[in-house]
Amino acid sequence: MIEITNVRKSFGDLEVLKGINLKVNKGEEVSMIGGSGSGKSTMLMCVNGLEHIQSGSIRIDGIEVHDKSTDLNKLRRKIGIVFQQWNAFPHLTVLENVMLAPRKVLGKSKKEAEAIAVEQLKHVGLGEKLTVFPSRLSGGQQQRMAIARALAMSPEYMLFDEVTSALDPQLVGEVLDTMRMLSKEGMTMIVVTHEMRFAREVSDRVAFFREGLIHEIGSPEQIFEHPEKRETAAFLKSAN
């Protein structure tokens, strides 16, 4: 479980998270929506300890991410993260790229790492692309490779930050389908997205970020059909 309690985060004088509270239960998919600059990406970075927080707490399975005594490298193995873009190593094949983390971080043998990478690449539908170089993949395939790379670490949580934003519209669907599959399989996920249809169809809950706060959170039905806050309704109108 991910427990975010009263999290405040500033960059210099600019406070970008102003007291975020959110619990994500095992197996849940929570989508984060909201305008640019509302703090969604910063929130994800704080969850896996890539950014410090000023106050509050973030616990993952009871372990405080921002405690000095926490072994962040160990904690991060539990949390896969996929961004808008991931620069694969161009001189390595797709398979070799996905094998890297199990080899280097988990200390798996070459054979074990290869088995893991093949399994995860098949899982995301790239079983035919093992020996090609990343530059030969479409944008959608590259994002699925990035997902496979994260899955190769056997994470318990997955964080996605606008993973389809840089894609041509016709490539968005295959990536969202992969994420939908993971959610169905029971992966615990936080998904920052502009894809309102995805948020509506896949989420257990949707959190609307506004000016560093979760302005409204609820089921997709609540957020999309009966938002309680007029800013939520206005955002959704502008997002369509």
Q: Distance between CA 67 and CA 197 in Å, rounded?
A: 37
Residues found in the chain: 240
- Nearest distance from residue 32's CB to ligand ADP, in Å? 8
Closest CA to 27 of 228, 229, 203: 203
> Which of ligand ADP, Mg ion, none has residue 179 at its interface (CB below 5 to 8 Å by kind)?
none
6 neighbors 20 (Cβ within 8 angstroms): yes
> Which of Mg ion, ligand ADP, none has residue 102 at its interface (CB below 5 to 8 Å by kind)?
none
Structure tokens at 201: 């169809």
Residues that bind ligand ADP (CB under 6 A): 11, 14, 16, 34, 36-42, 209
CB nearer to ligand ADP: give 151 or 198. 198
> Which of ligand ADP, Mg ion, none has residue 11 at its interface (CB below 5 to 8 Å by kind)?
ligand ADP
Contacts of Mg ion in 182-221 (CB under 5 A):
none
CB nearer to ligand ADP: give 119 or 211. 211
Q: Distance between CA 100 and CA 119 in Å, rounded?
A: 14
CB nearer to ligand ADP: give 54 or 109. 54
Return the residue of 31, 38, 41, 193 that touches Mg ion, per CB under 5 A. Answer: 41
Q: Mention every residue, 6+ apart, whose C-beta is less than 8 A from residue 191.
A: 29, 30, 31, 32, 159, 160, 179, 198, 199, 202, 203
Which residue is nearest to Mg ion, using beta carbons?
Answer: 41
> Which of Mg ion, ligand ADP, none has residue 183 at its interface (CB below 5 to 8 Å by kind)?
none
- 142 is a site residue for Mg ion (CB under 5 A): no
Give alpha helix (H) positions in 26-109: 40-47, 72-76, 94-104
> Which of ligand ADP, Mg ion, none has residue 37 at its interface (CB below 5 to 8 Å by kind)?
ligand ADP
- Nearest distance from residue 127's CB to ligand ADP, in Å? 33
CB nearer to ligand ADP: give 37 or 127. 37
CB nearer to Mg ion: give 41 or 203. 41
6 neighbors 19 (Cβ within 8 angstroms): yes
Give alpha helix (H) positions in 48-164: 72-76, 94-104, 110-123, 139-151
215 neighbors 196 (Cβ within 8 angstroms): no
- Nearest distance from residue 40's CB to ligand ADP, in Å? 4
SS3 94: helix
Q: What is the contact surface with Mg ion in residues (CB under 5 A)?
A: 41
